A and B are shown apart, each in its own frame.
Chain A
Amino acid sequence: MPQITYIENNGTEHQVELPLGATLMEGAVQNDIKGIVAECGGSCMCATCHVYIDEQFLDLLPEMEEEEDEMLDGATAERRDNSRLGCQVRVSKQLDGIIVRIPEKQ
């Protein structure tokens, strides 16, 4: 299973293994990583699973849909070039070793 490193806003690191097909949001919530709220449970409805993706993995991610793009514009923390919604990124083999940073607030 691919290994994912989550870094909370206070610097706490968590390394977890996620099954293929799980989303970065599910991985964070189920493993009690602080700072991912995910109120809507992964429906791309609430923009509270905003994460910053390790730059070197950015190109390997699935293309962003329009709705994710729009939701990110409304996210609470600053939107950056490497911003994604965790619920829209599914874990693949290629993402093994990815580092995911959690913003200050959702």
Chain B
Amino acid sequence: MKQKVVIIGAGHGGIQAASSLCEEGFEGEIVLISDEKEMPYQKPPLSKGFLQGKQTEDAILFRSVNFYQNNNISLRLGTRVRKIEPNNYQIELENGTFIPYNFLIIATGTSNRKLAIDGKIVENIYYLRSLVDAKNIEQKLSESQNIVVIGGGFIGLELAALATEKGKNVTVIEAQSRLMERVLPAIVSNVFCETHQKNGVRILLQTAIEHISDKEVILKKGESIKADLILAGIGVIPEISLASEAGITCENGVLVNEYQQTNYPNIYAIGDCANHFNAFANKNLRLESVQNAVDQAKVAVNHILGKPQTYYMVPWFWTNQYQLKLQMAGINTDYDQTVIRGDIDIHKFSVFYYKNHQLIAVDSLNRPADHLAARKLIQNGISPTFEQVADLTLKLG
């Protein structure tokens, strides 16, 4: 009998899982379920090229319509799953239909954390996750002059950059003492802060919000800021309700082993929603990145096809703001030493992070060659000396 793989979620993970199954010669049935109505598209460009007007809706599609037909992928758009029945090897859709599976891949991603003040969710705030969100923001941006962005993380800052480039008055409100503080050292986040300020963005750090009304944001310090549009990027929550209600073990995401299997061996979880042991961080975590979704999809598929290989890929991420292109390789926590390669003043440098003389991560600002080299070095466990890193005449990797 033909085997059937059901994939819930059509982001980078879900699409890669379907593609990999086809490429690796899987001859069974593939069902790919998305709760969105649009043909599957890539999310990272939404806060960059798409809202900048540089990439069209068609340009960010993963694949053409023909791809799904030619590869016998049954694509179910605008379809929500009501529940997973692990013991019956089937899922139930919201319309009451049951779909049986031999293998299930959960690639449900994350949803946006909503802003709450004094325990109450604040209304009239725009968040960016889907194409629908992006179109709403696009419309609202065109009618607005004063924009407040809550949260100085990647998404908030990418939105702030593109809004100010459209000539808007932009204020960014961040609770921490630096931008992107959770993931970047001061030396890098200060460059971003200065660049935003140079482009006219008002950056308010260590700033708490007292109240938000229809057209203004009132700070704890007392100041009131006019806001025709309030955007927030204040973190995400893994989409685990389907899994946890089905008795699949969840713990900051769906818990998976090195083959992406959950506590049910024929149910896998991949991408942003999967809590896995990451060898490059040396701990369990969830990663919100294209790389992680794509590579975990391949691991799950290989396991399904009986060619198991464990997940072992250097994490990498990127952000684009103005002319600043930041590429991050590895996980830069718990380091004990850093070495700079390049020139900080002209915004072309990389920070190499070491722990016990082992290279664990590299953040590259406008140094793409360093980034590519760093991924190879970290993947292969090679640590150049500090002198080698600082020597610009030397090619790394």
Give the interface of A toward B (CB within 8 A): 19, 22-23, 26, 29-32, 34, 39-45, 47, 67, 70-71, 73-75
CA distance A39 to B42 in the complex (A): 10
Contact A41 B64 (CB under 8 A): no
Question: How near does chain A come to B100, taking the closest CB pair, in angstroms?
Answer: 28
CA distance A97 to B61 in the complex (A): 24
CA distance A56 to B189 in the complex (A): 45
Question: How near does chain B come to A40, taking the closest CB pair, in angstroms?
Answer: 7
Known: A42-B49, A73-B369, A74-B397. A30 touches B61 (CB 8 A): yes
CA distance A67 to B366 in the complex (A): 8
Contact B320 A43 (CB under 8 A): yes
**Number of A-B residue pairs with CB-CB distance less than 8 Å in the complex they form:** 69
CA distance A44 to B372 in the complex (A): 12
Known: A42-B45, A43-B48, A45-B325. A74 touches B318 (CB 8 A): no
Q: What are 19 contact pairs spanning A and B, CB under 8 A?
A: A29-B62, A31-B67, A32-B64, A32-B70, A32-B71, A40-B318, A42-B59, A45-B325, A45-B327, A47-B368, A67-B325, A67-B366, A70-B367, A70-B369, A71-B369, A74-B368, A74-B371, A74-B372, A74-B373
Q: Is B102 interfacial (CB 8 A cutoff)?
A: no
Kindly identify which residue among B64, B66, B67, B290 contacts A40, using a CB–CB cutoff of 8 Å.
B290
Q: Is B170 interfacial (CB 8 A cutoff)?
A: no
Contact B62 A39 (CB under 8 A): no
CB neighbours (8 Å) of B371 from chain A are: 74
CB neighbours (8 Å) of B31 from chain A are: none
CA distance A74 to B368 in the complex (A): 8
Kindly identify which residue among B290, B327, B397 contacts A41, using a CB–CB cutoff of 8 Å.
B290
Binary contact track B311-322/A, C-beta < 8 Å → 1, others 0: 000000010100
Residues facing A in B301-355 (CB within 8 A) are 318, 320, 325, 327
Closest to A19 in B: B58
CA distance A67 to B61 in the complex (A): 24
Contact B63 A32 (CB under 8 A): yes
CA distance A31 to B69 in the complex (A): 12
Contact B55 A39 (CB under 8 A): no
CA distance A35 to B254 in the complex (A): 31
Contact B294 A39 (CB under 8 A): yes
Contact B44 A43 (CB under 8 A): yes
CA distance A71 to B364 in the complex (A): 12
Kindly identify which residue among A30, A34, A47, A70 contacts B64, using a CB–CB cutoff of 8 Å.
A30
CB neighbours (8 Å) of B318 from chain A are: 40, 43, 45
